[in-house]
Structure 1
Amino acid sequence: MKIQNSLLAGIIALTLFSCDSIEDKKGRFLLKGNEKLEENDPKSAIDFYHEAIELDSTYSDAWFNKAVAHLKLHQLNEAIADFSQAINFRPDYPNAYFQRGLSYLDNGEFYKAKSDAEWLHKNDSENWEGYFLSGLVAEKLEDYPTALTSFQKASELNPSNSDLLVNQATVYYYQKEFEEASKLLDKAESINPSEPNLHNLRSMIAFDYGKYQEALEAVEKAISLDSRQAYYYNNKGLYLLFLGEKEKGLELINQSIQMDDSNPFALRNKGIFYVMEGDKISALQYLTELYKDYPDMELVEEYYKKAQDL
């Protein structure tokens, strides 16, 4: 389960420029870059932002938007470097701290993300984004009480944001407090019934209760709302395994791995498939390393032992 954040929507910096020739030129390059981003052409956008920076190396908005373009290309290190340049030339740039923090988080640099969250707490304390970032960091560090407190504070500052309620529900899910999680999901759905993550989390709760058909229907709703998330397909594959549709389940698990080969849950699910098929060698190929690296992952120990007993 990944905690959802809206990383790119609405974050492009806009700058008004004067009639001065350099200002006029760099501003036009910025706007051309923005147009290319809107056209989903981040590579061309980067070229235009680079032209703006060539005219003014301290142009923080161009650095910021160039970072956004790198994010669209999944170039985290480049994005972090550009957000840092934007901050260097505009030290009081809250959105750059927030987006850099999210990028650090995605890059596995959790304590750097935490540092950016702390800057936001100190310098932009009435903005929900700093608490949201703190919550994401704490969740990654498995400090669930801090994560929950942070998400609750963010939700107080931005009560119409359903994502923040889903984040809280996710923390309760991790703590096996399924009733509290479900209450928050109901509240989130009353705000935004088209939030795919709430339906995915509902599916995970249903699975843990052994309600496999209900889990399947919920994750299918999530996929209908957002077909780009690899872990939705992995979850659907898992539910199909437990519904006896093993080949269909494996197909979806493999699809998930093709979309994102860094998800250990998908490898676990392949191991479960081979246990169900009675293929000891293939099952242990997946489950032995997972049992070593992720011994506390749900179902890993159970199916590792089942594989050994085949």
Structure 2
Amino acid sequence: MLAVSLFVPLAACQTGAGQQLTAIDTAEGSTENISSLTAVIQRSPSDPAAYNVRGSAYGKAGRYDLALADFDRALQINPNYYQAWANRGLIKRLKGDRNGALADYNRAVQLNSSYDAAYIGRGNLYRDMGQTQAAFQDFERAIRLDTTDARAYYNRGLLYQQQGQHNYAIEDFSSAISLQNDAPAPYNGRGLSYLALGDDENAFADFNQAIKLDNEVAESWSNQALVYERRGDNVKARSSYQQATQLDPSYTPAKEGLRRVSS
């Protein structure tokens, strides 16, 4: 049972289905902020940066069609605006247009071969497409560029974890945490690799920290429950699994864990 209970959360973490670090940080997607950005565009209708920033805000708000329209306009004004190519690539990826996203990311790195965000975005796209080696190479490129973007280390850590190279994964998750210590995802990732190495105490500390940072992430509660389960404390495990299933009724590791400790 131990192998099964460990494998399921690791698989969830590897796919990135549960959590991601912030993808678009250029602007917040609030209505107030978008209104202020629209006012900037009205004052400077030929400024591609204004459209790029508002497009990022629309992306943050999940208004993908409006984001695409703004990135299109930015690129009409300045076809060499590599940040807008990469941002549009991200929105296309989120909309499921993988070929379009790949073309945009490729154009971004053609225009600026030192643009770390484009490599990270393209790496995530390659990972979505099952092209693990290409994804790994892009995350490596970003890291060699001395990126300060935690996503490069986090996503490379997921690939190391998927390959069972947990010591390398722990190093990468730790680097991600040093760059962005307010997100639960790298704590959950590192905790799962600690767990795979039999280091339950450090794993438990990471899962607890993930919950402290955001107590509405089902994966964090399910991971905490897994440690309780390994300790034989089914009462606490059941409570944490229940919390996870309340937050996300479709989260398979929590549902399966709850069945195990309730039988």
TM range (shorter): 0.7 to 0.9
Q: Deviations over 1:32-80 (max 9, x none)?
A: xxxxxxxxxxxxxxxxxxxxxxxxxxxxxxxxxxxxxxx5xx6733211
Q: Does structure 1 residue 123 correspond to structure 2 residue 77?
A: yes
Contact between 1:100 and 1:116, CA under 8 Å: does it hold in 2?
yes
Q: Does structure 1 residue 307 correspond to structure 2 residue 263?
A: no
Instruction: Calculate the TM-score normalised by the size of structure 2.
Output: 0.76
Q: CA deviation at 1:84?
A: 1.0
What value does the CA root-mean-square deviation take over the aligned residues?
A: 2.9
Q: CA deviation at 1:245?
A: 3.2
Match of 2:238 in 1: 281
Q: CA deviation at 1:276?
A: 4.0
Q: 1:2 aligns with which of 18, 21, 42?
A: 21
Match of 2:145 in 1: 191
How many residues are paired up?
239
1:122-271 matches, within 5 Å, as: 122-192=76-146, 195-261=149-215, 263-271=217-225
Q: CA deviation at 1:107?
A: 1.9
Q: Which runs of 5+ in 2 are unaligned?
A: 1-19
Cα distance change on mapping 1:235 and 1:149 into 2, 3 Å: same
Contact between 1:170 and 1:181, CA under 8 Å: does it hold in 2?
yes
CA distance in 1, matches of 2:116, 2:140: 10
Cα distance change on mapping 1:173 and 1:274 into 2, 3 Å: farther
Q: CA deviation at 1:237?
A: 2.6
| Paired-residue identity, % | 22
Segments of 4+ in structure 1 off by > 6 A? none
Q: CA deviation at 1:259?
A: 2.9
Contact between 1:275 and 1:307, CA under 8 Å: does it hold in 2?
no
Q: CA deviation at 1:83?
A: 0.1
Secondary structure of the residue aligned to 1:231 is helix
Q: Which has the higher contact order (CA 8 A, sep 6+)?
A: 2
Q: Which runs of 5+ in 1 are unaligned?
A: 8-70, 294-299
